[in-house]
């Protein structure tokens, strides 16, 4: 059994027929059949069932597919890491961000990466924080900027920012001029929030539970643009102000601090340990941290940075 045979076998299974796999691989169909026969003889089992429209894997074939994908991925990962050590940083790095941060961070991040590492291409993915955490653990993302997660065997988490959630109101709301509102006052307002499993919902529910208050959500909505439109029409929401900063600047919305208690969450940078382009991923993670820090220091992002001592623990250096 060799790697070429595994690659050919997977392509045949994915194509569903020898003829389609032959066209995709530019290899004669009899040659593909020969490689499959060699695999079947070596393993002592039938791997494919032939029918009028092509082939399907047997139970043994499915087992081989699963293991072949793992083996080939490890081979590709080894090649990438060796190339990383020998070449200038480049290639694609998949970066995930929550909707609450993507709008404000996307442009400065892309510009900073292009300036420092012109051969690195950033593929941005916007999703809910819970999904981002799962995807970076699975290796579908190389880097993620997300909330309320911890390091595991498959990812490194570095907490960088603590951020308050604020009451987001239409600018003509009667409470828009307040310096702060108590959480108990929010309980009586027409609230629209993301539903479970969105992390922001868990943070808010936790704050209401601490205050022994009942959270009554009038509308569940997982779309930030839709939430913004609903707030403009008279609803309210609880979000970090950074996610709607442009609407605030245009005078459409107002962000009022919440007290007794103040809902707070922590923003972390997650770095996948399964990345096939690890040096470039480390470099981009470092830039994500630097760009976010600059925005906080300039007051563009209303949040608190972790102490310098804690920040020095970051090990993103490629």
Could you state, in order of their start, the residue ranges of all structural domains in the chain?
Answer: 3-85, 88-162+265-311, 166-262
Residue 83: per-residue pLDDT: 67
The fold for domain 3-85 equals Arc Repressor Mutant, subunit A (1.10.10)
User: Do 243 and 104 meet the contact criterion of CB atoms below 8 Å apart?
Assistant: yes
Residue 257's SS3 state is coil
Beta bridge partner(s), residue 238: 167
Residue 267's pLDDT is 86
Peptide bond into 49 cis (omega under 30): no
pLDDT of residue 113: 94
Integer Cα distance of 165 and 147 in angstroms: 13
State how far the Cα of 136 lies from the Cα of 131, in Å rounded to an integer: 9
Within a 10 A sphere around the Cβ of 218, how many other Cβ atoms? 12
Alpha carbon of 41 to those of 47, 64, 128, 182, 258: distances in Å? 10, 14, 48, 74, 70
Percent of the chain with pLDDT over 70: 94
Position 312 scores a pLDDT of 41
Burial of 41 (0-12, 13-18, 19+ CB in 10 A): exposed
Rounded Cα–Cα distance for residues 163 and 303 (Å): 5
Chain-wide mean pLDDT for the chain? Answer: 86
The answer to whether 207 touches 261, Cβ cutoff 8 Å, is yes
pLDDT at 91: 86
Mean pLDDT of 294-310: 78
| Confidence category of residue 306, pLDDT binned at 50, 70, 90 | confident
Spatial separation of the C-alpha atoms in residues 234 and 216, rounded to whole Å: 16
Residue 49 phi/psi, 5° resolution? -110, 125
User: Can you tell me the distance from the alpha carbon of 299 to that of 277, in angstroms, rounded to the nearest whole number?
Assistant: 33
pLDDT, tens only, 131-185: 888 888 888 899 998 876 777 777 888 888 888 999 999 999 999 889 999 999 9
**Euclidean distance between CA atoms 169 and 167, whole angstroms:** 6
Q: Is the pLDDT of residue 309 over 60?
A: no
- Quick one: pLDDT at residue 311? 41
**Can you tell me whether residue 163 is helix, strand or coil?**
strand
Same fold, 3-85 and 166-262: no
**pLDDT for res 90:** 84
pLDDT range class, residue 191, cuts 50, 70, 90: very high
Q: Per residue in 74-130, pLDDT tens?
A: 888 887 777 666 666 888 999 999 877 888 889 999 999 999 999 899 999 988 777
pLDDT digits (tens, 9 = 90+) for 212-244: 998 889 999 988 889 999 999 999 999 988 888
The contacts of residue 37 (CB under 8 Å, 6+ apart) are none
Q: What is the pLDDT of residue 310?
A: 39
pLDDT at 58 over 90: yes
CATH for 166-262 (3.20.20.10, 3.90.15.10, 3.40.190.290, 3.30.70.1520): 3.40.190.290
The predicted pLDDT at position 307 comes to 58
Q: What is the mean pLDDT of residues 9-22?
A: 90
The pLDDT of residue 120 = 92
**Rounded Cα–Cα distance for residues 315 and 318 (Å):** 9
Does the global pTM surpass 0.75? no
CATH architecture of 88-162+265-311: 3-Layer(aba) Sandwich (3.40)
């Amino acid at each position: 059994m060799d790697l070429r045979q595994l690659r050919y076998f997977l392509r045949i299974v994915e194509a569903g027929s020898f003829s389609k796999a032959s066209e995709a691989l530019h290899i004669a169909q009899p040659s593909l059949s020969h490689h499959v026969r060699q695999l079947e003889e070596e393993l002592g089992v039938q791997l494919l069932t032939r029918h009028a429209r092509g082939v399907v894997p047997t139970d043994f074939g499915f087992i081989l597919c699963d293991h072949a994908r793992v083996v080939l991925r490890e081979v590709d990962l080894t090649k990438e890491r060796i190339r990383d050590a020998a070449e200038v940083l480049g290639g694609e790095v998949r970066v995930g961000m929550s909707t609450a941060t993507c709008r404000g961070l996307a442009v400065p991040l892309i510009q900073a990466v292009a300036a420092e590492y012109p051969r690195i291409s950033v593929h941005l993915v916007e999703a809910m924080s819970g999904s981002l955490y799962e995807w970076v653990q699975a290796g579908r993302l190389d880097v993620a900027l997300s909330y309320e997660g911890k390091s595991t065997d498959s990812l490194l988490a570095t907490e960088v920012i603590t951020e308050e959630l604020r009451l987001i109101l239409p600018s003509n709301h009667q409470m828009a001029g307040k310096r702060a509102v108590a959480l108990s006052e929010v309980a009586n307002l027409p609230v629209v929030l993301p539903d479970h499993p969105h992390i922001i919902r868990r943070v808010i529910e936790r704050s209401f539970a601490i205050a022994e208050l009942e959270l009554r959500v009038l509308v569940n909505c997982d779309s930030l643009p839709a939430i913004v439109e609903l707030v403009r029409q008279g609803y309210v929401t609880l979000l970090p102000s950074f996610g709607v900063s442009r609407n605030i600047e245009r005078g459409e919305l107002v962000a009022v601090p919440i007290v007794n208690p103040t809902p707070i969450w922590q923003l972390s940078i997650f770095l996948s340990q399964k990345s096939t382009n690890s040096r470039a991923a480390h470099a981009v993670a470092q830039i994500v941290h630097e760009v976010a820090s600059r925005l906080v220091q300039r007051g563009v992002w209303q949040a608190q940075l972790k102490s310098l001592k804690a920040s020095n623990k970051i090990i993103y250096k490629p």
